């Protein structure tokens, strides 16, 4: 609960001592950006009722409707002209799932998601139907010069069975590895499958012990299909792609096949390891597998609210302020006690920030003090699915990319970072100097003049191992040469967990960070000139 109002007295006193640097109107209309107003929005958007706001699901649709109604209540216009609703930009979002999935070994039908699985993205538009009287077992599926399990074999037109990963000839790592990094080189699944595809195998059975105990999360993911964005490039790539019919099988099915050759998984692996020789064998057992996929359009939309600038000479230039309103939805574990990934910080906090900024700027507009340039307030969908909503907008912009002066992107401003314990009076800024020194200067001056928060640039580089510069919606603007600032509070133990709840939000800091974005936006929307882009995407100076 909120115990006391967020007071602006200290801020007002500080600003009065250096009045030359501040715009009094900017200060006046910022005063609706409060922790109370933040709570009003976030307690709704991150409630259990919104079911974690997963793209393409009821909770995200509810969030989109809520944001739209807020934009309408502020007086923002819906700028979308080619849709049913001027506030919604429908994105070309679809789900690819299986309409058919069959595996039979020696005439015995196997059970999908128990004995085997087929992923939709391994099924071409035409589907596949493979039948064979024998299976070529090629061990680890290695095709190295020093250890070629296909030597003397012609795989064209044959069904091949291999282990998913592994290379018994590879040297052991010098030190224990951490994380879940997949094997690289000849032992990787991708390399093995490419060999079979290039050599025109009819299909492949991949032995993976994970099938023996498929998690509820994976079952749900396989059943619900693979989402994708229907950009022209992707549709063309999917239509032209060569796909190897692939079935992932468990150890019981693999051992049934190997039993026809009087062996089993354990004996085969032991023999290969001890002899360091391939153990490729043709097994006379019939197999048949077939699959077909279906594409289903899924409702998903960016929500747009437009404020037209007041200066006839500058109003065609547009500042875009974004956040993503989607999150990761419900927990796919029937035993979980908390089934909602509420996404209060990620990114309910950023969406709340955009709503507060939109309200503040519209109050200024109605009082005759609106910004000279236009501002597009946009909450995008599909960020958690791969930055889909912002990618769609950048490729189908409502306002020309050439007229877009900057993108200010807010993704998580409601909490602290586990790496900065005990003091939340900071925000990470990422990207501000990647393309434009002007933007970097404007953003930092706005902070010094109005907010005085610690600006941490720890992640403000292209070589950051976390790759934060590439992981939120601003990057889909940056890749088109639009300067960006990404505001971010870092990660915490509740990141992408049900514990990302409203009661853990630091609302005073959410409001303060939102004020920083507001004052930066005010300077950008009212400045004499748009930020000059003086760097290329790789950071090198732009040719004059």
Pull the structure tokens for residue 222.
């396989």
Question: How many folded domains does the chain comprise?
Answer: 2
241: confidence class by pLDDT, cuts 50, 70, 90: low
| Domain match, 106 and 140 both | yes
The whole-angstrom separation of Cα 476 and Cα 20 is 37
Claim to verify: residue 58 and residue 155 sit in the same structural domain: no
Which of the two residues, 290 and 5, has the higher pLDDT score? 290
Q: What is the mean pLDDT of the chain?
A: 91
Residues 52 and 116 in one domain: no
156-170, 182-196, 477-491, 506-520, range with the lowest pLDDT: 182-196
Query: Which residue would you say has higher pLDDT here, 401 or 191?
Result: 401
3-state secondary structure (DSSP) of residue 477: helix
Flag whether pLDDT at 10 surpasses 50.
no
* Omega prior to 184 cis, within 30 of 0: no
Query: What percent of the chain lies above the pLDDT cut of 70?
Result: 92
Beta bridge partners of 116: 112, 249
**Using an 8 Å Cβ cutoff, are 257 and 285 in contact?**
yes
- Tell whether 266 and 309 lie within a shared domain: no
pLDDT at 156 over 70: yes
> Are 100 and 203 within one domain?
yes
How far apart (Å, rounded) are the C-alpha atoms in residues 40 and 345?
Answer: 14
Predicted confidence at residue 197, as pLDDT, reads: 95
We report the CATH number of the domain holding residue 167 as 3.50.30.30
For the packed helices 350-366 and 35-45, what is the interaxial angle rounded to 10 degrees? 130
Q: Phi and psi (nearest 5°) for 282? A: -90, 125
12-42 pLDDT per residue, tens: 444 444 444 789 999 999 999 999 999 999 9
pLDDT of residue 178: 36
541 lies in a domain? no
Residues across the chain: 544
pLDDT, one tens digit per residue, over 518-537 is 999 999 999 999 999 999 98
Are 185 and 329 in a shared domain? no
Sole residue written with tokens 């800024």: 429
Q: Which two tokens stand for residue 485?
A: 């600032």
Distance CA 543, CA 402 (A): 18
pTM over cut 0.85 = no
Q: Which residues contact 111 (CB under 8 A, 6 or more apart)?
A: none
Which of 179-188, 289-298, 331-340, 357-366 is predicted with the least confidence, judged by mean pLDDT?
A: 179-188
For residue 250, the enclosing domain spans 95-171+180-296
Rounded Cα–Cα distance for residues 279 and 281 (Å): 6
Judge if 392 and 452 occupy the same domain.
Answer: yes
Alpha-carbon 20 to chain mean position: 42
For residue 197, is it within any domain? yes
């Amino acid at each position: 609960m909120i115990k006391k109002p967020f007071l602006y007295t200290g801020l007002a006193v500080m600003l009065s001592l250096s009045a030359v640097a501040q715009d009094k109107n900017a200060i006046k209309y910022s005063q609706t950006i409060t922790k109370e107003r933040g709570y009003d929005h976030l307690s709704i958007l991150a409630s259990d009722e919104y079911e974690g706001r997963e793209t393409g699901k009821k909770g995200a649709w509810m969030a989109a409707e809520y944001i739209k109604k807020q934009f309408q209540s502020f007086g923002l216009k819906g700028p979308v002209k080619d849709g049913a609703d001027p506030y919604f930009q429908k994105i070309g979002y679809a789900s690819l799932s299986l309409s058919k999935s069959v595996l039979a070994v020696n005439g015995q039908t196997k059970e999908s998601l128990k004995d085997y699985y087929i992923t939709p993205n391994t099924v071409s538009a035409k589907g596949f139907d493979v039948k064979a009287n024998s299976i070529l077992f090629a061990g680890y599926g290695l095709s190295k010069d020093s250890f070629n399990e296909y030597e003397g074999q012609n795989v064209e037109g044959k069904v091949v069975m291999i282990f998913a990963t592994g290379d018994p000839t590879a040297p052991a790592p010098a030190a224990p590895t951490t994380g879940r990094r997949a094997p690289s080189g000849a032992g990787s699944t991708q390399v093995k499958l490419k060999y079979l595809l290039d050599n025109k195998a009819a299909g492949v059975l991949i032995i993976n012990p994970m099938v023996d105990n498929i998690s509820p999360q994976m079952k749900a993911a396989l059943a619900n299909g693979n989402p994708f964005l229907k950009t022209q490039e992707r549709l063309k790539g999917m239509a032209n792609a060569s796909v190897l019919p692939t079935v992932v099988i468990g150890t019981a099915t693999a051992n049934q096949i190997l039993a026809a050759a009087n062996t089993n998984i354990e004996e085969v692996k032991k023999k290969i390891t001890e002899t360091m020789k391939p153990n490729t064998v043709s097994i006379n057992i019939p197999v048949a597998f077939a699959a077909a996929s279906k594409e289903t359009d899924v409702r998903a939309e960016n929500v747009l609210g437009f404020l037209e600038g007041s200066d006839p000479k500058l109003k065609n230039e547009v500042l875009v302020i974004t956040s993503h309103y989607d999150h990761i939805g419900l927990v796919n574990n029937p035993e979980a006690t908390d089934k909602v990934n509420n996404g209060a910080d990620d990114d309910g906090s950023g969406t709340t920030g955009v709503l507060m900024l939109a309200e503040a700027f519209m109050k200024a507009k109605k009082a005759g003090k609106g910004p000279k340039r236009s501002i597009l307030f946009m909450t995008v969908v599909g960020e958690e699915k791969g930055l889909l909503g912002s990618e769609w907008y950048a490729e189908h912009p409502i306002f020309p990319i050439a007229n877009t002066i900057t993108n200010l992107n807010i993704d998580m401003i409601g909490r602290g970072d586990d790496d900065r314990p005990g003091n939340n009076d900071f925000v990470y800024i990422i990207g501000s100097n990647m393309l434009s020194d002007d933007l970097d200067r404007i953003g930092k001056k706005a902070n010094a003049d109005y907010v005085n928060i610690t600006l941490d640039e720890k992640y403000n580089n292209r070589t950051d191992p976390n790759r934060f510069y590439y992981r939120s919606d601003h990057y889909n603007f940056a890749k088109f040469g639009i300067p960006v600032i990404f505001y971010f509070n870092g990660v915490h133990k509740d990141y992408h967990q049900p514990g990302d709840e409203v009661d853990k939000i630091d609302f005073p800091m959410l409001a303060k960070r939102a004020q920083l974005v507001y004052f930066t936006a005010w300077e950008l929307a009212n400045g004499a000139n748009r930020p000059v882009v003086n760097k290329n995407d790789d950071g090198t100076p732009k040719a004059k």
